Structure 1
Amino acid sequence: MTLLIIGAFCVFFMLGWPVVLAIMLPAIVYILLNDLPFQLVGQRMTYALDSFPLVAVPLFILVGNLMNQAGITERIFRFADTLVGRVPGGLGQVNIFSSLIFSGMSGAALADVGGLGRIEVKAMTKRGFTPQFSGALTCASAVVGPIFPPSIPLIIYGSVTSVSIVQLLLAGIIPALICVVLLMLTVAVMSRWRKFPRSERWSRPSEIWRDLKPAAPALLTPVLLVLGMLLGFFTPTEAAAVTVVYVLLISAFVYRTLSWAHVRFAAYETLKSTSAILIIVSAAAIFGWIMAIEQVPQVFAQQLLSLSTDPLVLLLIVNVILLLVGMILDSTTATLLVIPIIAGPLHMAGVDPVHLGVVAIFNLMLGLLTPPMGLALFLITDIARVSMRAILRELVPFYIPLVGTLLLITFFPEISLWLPKMLR
């Protein structure tokens, strides 16, 4: 029965059915064939959504939409250009640095691509970069968003595995910075033979200060979040609400660019994105409940532990599994369906659940850049107006720093665990 359920899901998914239907229909058929109360469908869906940490998801999505409407993304990009535009690689470096700053407020890779992507690709194309390179770099740098706080995927991971979300968010800081450094080094090396344009001179302190002032309120957002959580002023979910209020205040009273029309549009876009995420969460809860009844996690744990009991070997195996899964499932679905199955045996083998969270989420984020389900690829091809093949060709050099970051955080757990251990 288990194989039939999983097989049906795979068939429906490969046929191009919506993920929600591909998950729910096999689950409903299972319930009917086993004479279980049909009310279980609504019960399990409701129970899955009755989660306080999940409240942070729509709130952080709203933050990203509000910033786009208020023009904050443009101020971030302008400041980044003033600060690092002279570095070899020019606007390529600005692209990466901007993604790090923006991720500290939006918490989502697709928000980065959709929000900053249009500004970045347009500016880079005007400076002489090709649209396909600009698009590829925008996709690669967006991977930083989901592991730097506030991270929506890490919040979902924490709610699924009951791991401390505060520790998960702290654990993503250093890996995100390492990824940024490696991406910037890659662009600097590529600039030597591609002769990328860059600013004619280093910005003067007065110019840096000029562009820092309008960007400063936005730059303080991640600082506000991390300090607030570290000092115990609010939980990650409450931090999301605080961030929404903060962004509304600076947009209305500091930048004075936010109107009621902007708020309505941001709320509408948030509603659409949140609905898409949470309906998958609720559908996956039914599927996961069936997997638990059929003891799939226990069987998988036995099989995985029979291969090895060495934590590092198991992590490498899981990395391969997640890389393959990330190619065919979006990150939210993969987190909800696959993570609960692999988390148990790795915890039993001694892998720290916080370390596993950062490794797993970063791994799944690479799926945004790999066909056939690379959502960032679909989004950037529309923004840059180029083919996916052209984007993938330019992405090849960036897989090196991205996979390199994955291997570093896999082999050296302290990279992720140093900051969280300060709270323990």
Structure 2
Amino acid sequence: MGLLIIAAFLVLFIAGFPVVYAILIPSIAYTLIEGLPLGLLSQRITYALDSFPLVAVPVFIFVGNLMNSAGITDRIFRFADTLVGRVPGGLAQVNVFSSLIFSGMSGAALADVGGLGRIEIEAMRKRGFTAPFSAAVTGASAVVGPIFPPSIPLIVYGSITSVSIVQLLIAGIVPALICVVLLMLTVAVLSYRRKLPRAERWPTLRDIARDLLPAFPALVAPVLMISGMLAGLFTPTEAASVTAVYVLLISSLFYRDLTWPHLWSALFLTARSTSAILAIVAVAALFGWILAVEQVPQDFSRWILQFSTEPIVLLLIANLIFFVAGMFLDSTTATLLVVPILAPPLVSAGIDPVHLGILVIFNLMFGLLTPPMGLSLFLLSSIAEISLRQLLRALIPFYVPLLMTLAVITFADRLVLWLPSLIR
């Protein structure tokens, strides 16, 4: 019956049903066929949403939307452009760095590409960058943000695996920084060889001070959040709340740009994004409970351990599975459906669940950017108004730093777990 439920989900998903319905319809059918009380559906859904760590999801989304609505992200973008605009790559380097800070807040890579990415592509085109290169930089940089705090995908992973969310968020810092450095080096090399546009002169101290002053309070926000979690002062949920209050204060008292329309817009966008994420969380929890009743995870554990019990071999298998899952599903759906089945045998084989979490989320983000079915590819080509072939040709050099980062995450587990080990 468990295999039939999974097959029904796949059929409905391939047929074009929204993912929530593709999960919910087989779950309801199972409940009716097995003669279970319908009240069980609401009970399991309510239980899934009764989670303290998930409170951080709407708060982090609110912080991101508020920073966009109040123009805070524009000030950070402008300061970064002034600071590194003369570096080979100029605005493309700013694109990579901005994605590191902001692209984990919405909880959906496609939303990041469609929101922040749209602004970045347009700004680069105005500076003289080609549309394919602008879209390629935007897509590649969007991969790294969701493993750097704040990261809603990591919060979702931690909530369903009972792994410390603080350690997950901290573990993503080093791999994310490595990926950013590799992407920036790639941009610099490509820009130097192709003589891509950059600022006409290096900034003076007056230029830097002029743009640093308005950007400084906004730059403190991520530092406040990360340092608070590193010092053990905040849980992720508390860190999200403290950051939200801080952003509200600087928007209203320092910048004085926060208006009621801005606040309403941020709240509305937060409610819409949160509803979509938590609806998937709720129905996926019901689906996962059914699979657990049918002992699908146990059967899968026995099957996968037949191949090998070596952690490295199992990590390579996990890379392949989650990479392919990322081509077809958004990160939240893939995490909720695949992780409960795949994580138990990997953890029982000796793989650290925090290490596994970083590997899972990075693979899911990378899969979105990979042909033939990577969903980010279609969105990027639409936003930049270019063909898929043009986009893929521009993306080829950026697959190298992304694959190098994936290799670091897979084989250098001590590096990934170094920062979390300091706070255990």
Fold equivalence (TM over 0.5): yes
Q: For residues 371 and 314 of structure 2, what CA distance do their matches in structure 1 show?
A: 25
Query: Structure 1: any 5+ residue segments left out of the alignment?
Result: none
Question: Within the alignment, does 1:142 sit opposite 2:142 as a pair?
Answer: yes
Contact map agreement 1:178 1:405 (CA 8 A) in 2? yes
Q: What corresponds to 1:201 in structure 2? A: 201
Structure 1 residues 108 and 8, CA, compared in 2 at 3 Å: closer, same or farther? closer
| Structure 2: stretches of 5+ with no match in the other structure | none
Q: What letter is aligned with 1:224?
A: L
In structure 2, the residue matched to 1:124 is 124
Tell me if the contact between 2:100 and 2:144 (Cα under 8 Å) persists in the aligned partners: yes
Query: Deviation string for 1:265-291 (max 9, x for gaps)?
Result: 111111111111100000001110011
Question: RMSD over aligned Cα, in angstroms?
Answer: 1.7
User: 1:307 is paired with a residue of what secondary structure?
Assistant: coil
In the alignment, is residue 72 of structure 1 matched against residue 80 of structure 2?
A: no
Q: Larger deviation: 189-198 or 73-82?
A: 189-198
Residues 380 and 62 of structure 1: CA distance in aligned 2, closer, same or farther (over 3 Å): farther
Match of 2:402 in 1: 402
Q: Counterpart of 1:287?
A: 287
Which residue identity lines up with residue 16 of structure 1 in the other structure? G
What SS does the corresponding residue of 1:316 show, helix, strand or coil? helix
Offset from partner CA, 1:310-358 (integer Å, 9 cap, x none): 1011000110011111111111011001011111111111101110001
Q: Give the 5 Å matches for 1:2-21.
A: 2-21=2-21
> Structure 1's 215 and 105: CA in aligned 2 closer, same or farther, altered over 3 A?
farther
8 Å CA contact retained: 1:51, 1:159: yes
Higher mean displacement: 2-11 or 200-209: 200-209
CA distance in 2, matches of 1:45, 1:225: 31
Which residue of the partner structure matches residue 180 of structure 2? 180
1:391 corresponds to = 391
Tell me whether 1:312 sits opposite 2:315 in the alignment. no
Give the corresponding residue for 2:233.
233
**TM-score scaled by length of structure 2:** 0.96
Conserved in 1, the CA contact under 8 Å of 2:45 and 2:282?
A: yes
Checking the alignment, whether the CA contact within 8 Å between 1:327 and 1:370 is kept in structure 2 is yes
Per mean C-alpha deviation after superposition, the further-off stretch among 376-385 and 214-223 is 376-385
| CA distance in 2: counterparts of 1:302 and 1:85, whole angstroms | 54
CA contact (8 A) 1:114 1:379 kept: yes
- Kept in 1, the 8 Å contact 2:112–2:142? The answer is yes
d(CA) in 1 for partners of 2:321 and 2:327? Answer: 10
Q: Could you tell me how far apart the structure 2 residues matched to 1:375 and 1:113 are? A: 11
Contact 1:103–1:149 (Cα < 8 Å) also in 2: no
For the structure 1 residues 285 and 277, does the alpha-carbon distance in structure 2 shift closer, same or farther, using more than 3 Å as the test? same
The change in CA–CA distance for 1:104 and 1:299 in structure 2 (over 3 A counts) is: closer
Letter in 2 for 1:362: F
Whether the 8 Å contact between 2:113 and 2:139 is mirrored in structure 1 is yes
Residue by residue, what CA displacement relative to the aligned partner does 1:194-221 show, whole Å, maximum 9, x if unpaired? 2211112221222222211111111111
Deviation for aligned residue 1:159? 0.2
For residues 214 and 106 of structure 1, what CA distance do their matches in structure 2 show?
24
Confirm or deny: 8 A CA contact 1:106 1:145 kept in the other structure.
Answer: no
Aligned to 2:340: 340
2:411 match: 411
2:105 touches 2:152 (CA, 8 Å); kept in 1? no
Deviation at 1:28, TM superposition (A): 0.9
**Aligned partner of 1:34: which letter?**
E
Amino acid at match of 2:20: V
Distance 1:277 1:106, change over 3 A: closer
8 A contact 1:330–1:367 mirrored in 2: no
1:101–1:219 CA contact under 8 A, matched in 2: no
Q: Is the 8 A contact 2:101 2:148 kept in 1?
A: no
- Cα-to-partner distance string for 1:40-89 (whole Å, 9 max, x where unaligned): 11111110000010011111111111111111111111111111111111
Q: Distance in 2 between matches of 1:114 and 1:349?
A: 39
* 8 Å Cα contact 1:131/1:386 also seen in 2: yes
Deviations 1:363-398 (A, max 9, x none): 111133235664434443443333444333322221
In the alignment, is the contact (CA less than 8 A) between 1:76 and 1:102 conserved in 2? no
Between 1:131-140 and 1:390-399, the stretch displaced more is 390-399
Deviations for 1:97-149, whole angstroms, at most 9, x for unmatched residues? 22223348667644543443233222211121112221221121111211111
Matched-pair contact (CA < 8 Å) for 2:314–2:346: yes
Distance, in Å, in 2 between the alignment partners of 1:71 and 1:418 is: 36
SS of aligned partner of 2:232: coil
Percentage of matched positions with identical amino acids: 69
Partner of 1:89: 89
Residue 48 in structure 1 maps to residue 48 in structure 2 = yes
For the Cα contact (< 8 Å) 2:157–2:357, is it kept in 1? Answer: yes
d(CA) in 1 for partners of 2:109, 2:321: 21
SS at match of 1:369: coil
The size of the alignment, in residue pairs, is: 424
Which residue is 2:211 aligned to?
211
Residue 165 of structure 2 contacts residue 236 of structure 2 at CA under 8 Å; is this kept in 1? yes
- Give the 3-state SS of the residue equivalent to 1:338 in structure 2: helix
Measured at CA, do residues 315 and 104 of structure 1 come closer, stay the same or move farther in structure 2, by a change above 3 Å? closer
TM-score under structure 1 normalisation? 0.96
Matching residue's letter, 2:230: L
Answer with 142-151 or 206-215: which moved more. Answer: 206-215
Match of 2:322 in 1: 322
Query: Any idea what the Cα deviations from partners look like across 1:142-196, whole Å, max 9, x if unmatched?
Result: 1121111111000000000000000000000001101101111111121233221
Deviation at 1:12, TM superposition (A): 0.4
Asked whether the 8 Å contact 2:104–2:153 carries over to 1, the reply is: no
